[in-house]
Structures are given as structure tokens and as C-alpha cells.
Amino acid sequence: MRGQDEKSIRLARRLRVDQTDAETVLWHRIRNRRVNGNKFVRQEPIIGYICDFVCREKRLIVEVDGGQHNESTADAIRDERLREKGYKVLRFWNNDVLGNIEGVLTIIQSELAEAAPHPTLSP
């Protein structure tokens, strides 16, 4: 699997099975190219982090967070490292996904529309 280390792959597989209710709701709305034809994968290992949802072509990461992430310094560092690698990171609270999924999808659609395809993944 693209040179990823086995530990990250095992963790990502476990997280796919044990996803939160909010992650499940969002996944069912963005999977199978349901957002303007953009493909998302879930629990994707990237530079040592497991990202909730990733559109590889547009280099967009979508994270769904619970209260434990409130003002997290570790998340800020993680986001900065991912940005340095060319990714845009969107973060949504669980209650936003569960209570306002249409608003969340609108933001994701807007970001995807603005993002240029990654040059190494373009046809």
C-alpha cells in the first residue's frame, strides 16, 4: 500500500471499523464520488497521521472532531505539518456534522471547487 508502514495501516483499518457516529454520517454522504464527482478515502495515513477523510486529487483533508480536540495544540501542529505538504485541512465538530450535515457538505463542496487538482494525480 504505497509504501506506508504496517503500524499505520493496521491502525487505519481499525479506525475504519470503529468510526464515530458523526464520521459514519459524513462518510455516507461523501463516499462513492457523491460530492461533485470527487473521490474520498477514509482513515488515510499521511506523514505519520491518520486523517479521517481525504480527497487525494484535490489534497483536501476533512477531520471530524469531538470535544477532546478543543483548542488542541497537537492538532494545530498536525494541521501545519499537513499544510506544509500541500494539504488543506477542514475541521468540523461532531455536533455540526450530526446537526447540520447540509451546511458541512456546502463548505466541503466550496473548498473542492476552489482547489486545483494535485499535479502528480492529474490525468
pTM of the full structure = 0.82
**Length of the chain (residues):** 123
Encoded amino acid at 58, one letter: K
Rg (C-alpha) for the chain, rounded Å, is 14
pLDDT winner (highest mean) among 18-22, 69-73, 117-121: 18-22
Q: What is the band of 57 on the pLDDT scale with cuts at 50, 70, 90?
A: very high
Encoded amino acid at 68, one letter: Q
Contacting residues for 41 by C-beta, under 8 A, at least 6 apart: 53, 54, 56
pLDDT value of position 104: 98
Task: Set out the domains of the chain in order of their start, with CATH numbers.
Answer: 6-114 (3.40.960.10)
Q: What's the mean pLDDT in 73-84? A: 94
pLDDT value of position 6: 73
How far apart are alpha carbons 36 and 117 in whole angstroms?
14
Q: What is the band of 70 on the pLDDT scale with cuts at 50, 70, 90?
A: low
How far apart are alpha carbons 94 and 68 in whole angstroms?
11
Sort residue 79 into left (φ over 0), alpha (ψ -120 to 50) or beta: alpha
